[in-house]
Amino acid sequence: MAVARGYFELTRLHKPFMGNTLMFWPCAWGLTMAARAVALPFPIFAAKLAVFALGSFLLHSAACVLNDICDIEFDRQVERTRDRPLPAGVVSVRGATILCVSLLVPVFGLLSYGDSLSLLLGLIGIFPLHALYPLMKRWTWWPQAWLGLAFNWGIPLAWVSVTGHIPPLPIWVLFFGGVCWTIVYDTIYACQDREDDRKVGVKSTALLFGDRVREILSLMVGALLVSLVYAGWATRQGAGYALLSCGGTLAHSVWQLATWNEADLKDHRAKFESNGLVGCVIWLGILFDYLSVL
């Protein structure tokens, strides 16, 4: 049972409201915006949304397994991660590698049903975006930015899967806003490991921003809000988007940064997890506008 539990924990599926949903929501944003733009029938939209939900959960799980394989030595030296299945010896590297490949096989299967452009973008999402992320904390102080590219790649991919065309500028601006959003929540999450990361040589924006982390994240939030407003205006979104997507993000961001207690390690995780809700709120605004034109 301990080994089975170890494999389950490697996928992070025991924490379904953390990274799993944070990868899915950008897919839902891009898909729903595209569905509204082409008046996609709801049954087709719902089917595509289910495919993206499955694909994002599988890919996120595979990426987590790969990350843990690459970070065994780091994880052994960090208090929060030393009890994970690989550094604790519950699961072998060979077993984790087999699990990672097993999770990726159905992802490739899902991508094969799309057109050539969707397949290309999907493959880029796997490599280099997700595949190289575990190495970024060794190469750059901005691994959170690379994670943002990987986690929000579903926006242009979903758009292409519906329209068959390269996304227009507003969708890329929304993608940029999503990257800024990821930098915000993952920097907050990384702050709980700052002291251990400094000792073992792991780089992060939490260390890079130092004592100005709250101020810099406020700028990132501003960029996210501007991106949301521009993308909504340029794609002629309606009241649902303005009130829920933009208004909800503004309210959550003000609350998050105003109440974030940097001295409380538990609050870092709580604030990180709260972003799953704001991702949903942004989608609900887009969904409302899509349903209003059917």
Q: What is the pLDDT of residues 187-218, one digit of tens each?
A: 999 999 999 999 999 999 999 999 999 999 99
Please tell me the distance from the alpha carbon of residue 15 to that of residue 24, in angstroms, as a whole number: 14
Say which amino acid occupies 143.
P
What is the percentage of the chain residues whose pLDDT exceeds 90? 90
**pTM of the predicted protein model:** 0.97
What's the CA gap between 52 and 260, in Å, rounded? 32
- Which domains, ranges and CATH numbers included, belong to the chain? 2-292 (1.10.357.140)
Q: Tell me, what's the pLDDT at 267? A: 96
- Asked whether the predicted pLDDT for residue 224 surpasses 80, the reply is yes
pLDDT on residue 20: 79
Per-residue pLDDT band at 2 (split at 50, 70, 90): confident
* Widest pairwise Cα distance in the chain: 56
pLDDT in tens, 232-277: 999 999 999 999 999 999 999 999 999 999 989 899 999 999 999 9
Question: Hey, CA dihedral for 150, 155, 158, 162, is it positive or negative?
Answer: negative
* pLDDT tens readout for residues 91-121: 999 999 999 999 999 999 999 988 999 999 9
**For residues 146 and 184, is the Cβ–Cβ distance under 8 A?**
no
Mean pLDDT value across residues 163-192:
97
| Predicted local confidence at residue 17, as pLDDT | 60
Distance of CA 52 to the CA centre of its chain: 13
The span from the CA of 209 to the CA of 218, in Å, is 12
